[in-house]
């Protein structure tokens, strides 16, 4: 069979009923295992550190994860968008040039981001709670490592290698972090946020190194060693709105923790972070299904195979919706006993968890629609929606946190998630001619 025939057969198989779930089965399982491991890690760290120190740890962790996203300059999503097209067209020189450009640019940008963040922490030290300084510096040091894992994950997704994409970050990193923290606790180490963040850095560094070597080998095997070709301006033009989308999404996921840290106490940060971590279990179905689908969205859109794209989107939506509702219902019913896993001081976040669990239903829909729009040349409008959502979130948090504490932050998250999910659905129907729930594709 020729290349075109092989490609057509592969896409046909992927689009048969049930093939989406089967094709993403490995990613699905890894994401489930990863969700369990990261949740277990947070529980172990919280119980070891106590509420206040866990709040300091959460703040440092949040800084590293949050700033790693803009440090990639949007190029990780550029790779996810263009590599499948180049591979399908056998434009291996462009694929190699894109890989080199992304790797070199993100390495430099993430190192610069880490240095700048560390410098800002040092300069702001006189006005900062001393207990936050060391955790924030360690969070800044983690920026290049988190950025590297983000890029390696999406590079693997672009090559449709779900195990390589998710096993390192979801399983290896979280599992190694659990082992290191457990060893520290057993050895009698002082339970401080700085020590726990040091364990995080060690786990990140080891996993990023091994993951990078594996991706490099796989990439070389897939495209060979053609002379690299570059389209830097075209890639950077696409990268800017994608950067905004990714940054806004990360802000929507993390800014509430940062604002609670500024307006309330470390103990409040700890309780809210425990509730937020628990609520993310609702969206893991969407994340698992979208482990592979976005690369296929981009390829089908590039080939103007709209009917097949519609079918793929609908199947992804059905695979996400019903399990998401079920998990949310379980967390709403068991909010207090679930939070008790973190320790006695965390059960006061039960109402917060209920609000966040409901908000994650809309977040799951937003993830699907946002991925679809970002990879079908509608990234500009997607960025506008997410940018507006960030502004609304900040305004609502400023108004509601002083009035209602962490429950106010959760209410703000719910309102913003629902409004932004609706806005993206409207844009998809108007621009693409179909949405995730219905509507006929535009002829």
pLDDT tier at 291, thresholds 50, 70, 90: low
Residues 349-397: pLDDT tens digits?
Answer: 999 999 999 999 999 998 899 888 877 777 788 888 989 999 999 999 9
pLDDT band at 185 (very low <50, low <70, confident <90, very high): very high
Question: Using the 8-state DSSP alphabet, how is residue 198 labeled?
Answer: H
Exposed, middle or buried, 439 (CB in 10 Å: 0-12/13-18/19+)?
middle
pLDDT score for 358: 96
Q: Domain-by-domain residue ranges, the chain? A: 11-431
CB 83 within 8 A of CB 103: no
Which pLDDT does position 4 carry in this prediction?
36
SS3 314: helix
As a whole-number percent, the residues of the chain with pLDDT over 70 amount to 92
383-433 confidence digits (pLDDT tens): 889 899 999 999 999 999 999 999 999 999 999 999 999 999 999 888 888
Contact assessment for residue 141 and residue 119, using Cβ atoms and an 8 Å cutoff: no
CA distance 287 to 284: 5
Task: Sort 275 into a burial class: Cβ within 10 Å, 0-12 / 13-18 / 19+.
Answer: buried
Whether pLDDT at 317 is above 60:
yes
Res 437: pLDDT: 65
Distance of alpha carbon 190 from alpha carbon 354, whole angstroms = 34
What's the chain's average pLDDT? 86
Q: Choose between 100 and 76: higher pLDDT.
A: 100
pTM, two decimal places: 0.77
End-to-end CA distance of the chain: 32
Burial class, 360, CB count within 10 angstroms (exposed 0-12 / middle 13-18 / buried 19+): buried
What are 255-289's pLDDT values in tens digits?
Answer: 898 899 889 988 899 899 999 989 988 887 787 77
**Residue 440 above 70 pLDDT?**
no
């Amino acid at each position: 069979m020729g290349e075109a025939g092989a490609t057509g057969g592969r896409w046909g198989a992927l689009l048969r009923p049930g093939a989406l779930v089967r094709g993403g089965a490995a990613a699905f399982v890894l994401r489930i295992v990863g969700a369990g491991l990261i949740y277990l890690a947070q529980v172990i760290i919280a119980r070891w550190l106590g509420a206040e120190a866990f709040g300091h740890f959460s703040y440092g962790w949040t800084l590293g994860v949050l700033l790693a996203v803009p440090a990639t300059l949007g190029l990780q999503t550029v790779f996810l968008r263009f590599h499948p097209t180049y591979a399908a067209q056998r434009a291996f020189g462009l694929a190699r040039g894109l890989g080199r450009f992304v790797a070199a640019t993100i390495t430099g940008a993430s190192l610069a981001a880490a240095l700048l963040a560390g410098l800002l922490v040092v300069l702001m030290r006189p006005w900062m709670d001393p207990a936050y300084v060391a955790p924030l510096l360690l969070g800044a040091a983690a920026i290049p490592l988190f950025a590297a894992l983000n890029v390696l994950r999406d590079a693997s997704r672009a090559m449709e290698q779900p195990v390589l994409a998710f096993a390192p970050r979801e399983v290896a990193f979280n599992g190694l972090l659990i082992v290191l923290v457990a060893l520290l606790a057993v050895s009698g180490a002082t339970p401080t946020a700085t020590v726990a963040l040091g364990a995080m850095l060690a786990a990140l560094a080891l996993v990023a190194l091994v993951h990078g070597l594996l991706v490099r080998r796989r990439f070389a095997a897939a495209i060979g060693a053609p002379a690299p070709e570059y389209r830097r301006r075209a890639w950077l033009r696409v990268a800017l709105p994608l950067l905004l989308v990714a940054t806004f999404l990360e802000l929507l996921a993390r800014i509430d923790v940062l604002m609670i840290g500024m307006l309330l106490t470390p103990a409040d940060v700890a309780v809210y972070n425990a509730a937020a971590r628990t609520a993310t279990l609702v969206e893991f179905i969407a994340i698992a299904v979208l482990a592979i689908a976005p690369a296929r969205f981009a390829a089908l859109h590039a080939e103007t195979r709209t009917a097949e794209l519609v079918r793929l989107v609908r199947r992804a939506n059905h695979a996400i919706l019903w399990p998401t509702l079920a998990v949310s219902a379980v967390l709403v019913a068991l909010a207090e006993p679930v939070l008790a896993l973190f320790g006695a001081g965390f059960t006061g976040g039960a109402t917060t968890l209920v609000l966040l669990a409901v908000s994650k239903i809309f977040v799951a829909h937003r993830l699907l629609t946002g991925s679809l729009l970002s990879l079908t040349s509608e990234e500009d409008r997607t960025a506008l929606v997410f940018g507006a959502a960030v502004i609304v979130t900040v305004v609502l948090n400023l108004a509601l946190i002083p009035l209602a504490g962490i429950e106010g932050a959760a209410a703000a998250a719910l309102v913003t998630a629902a409004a932004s999910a609706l806005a993206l659905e409207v844009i998809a129907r108007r621009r693409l001619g179909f949405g995730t729930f219905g509507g006929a594709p535009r002829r």
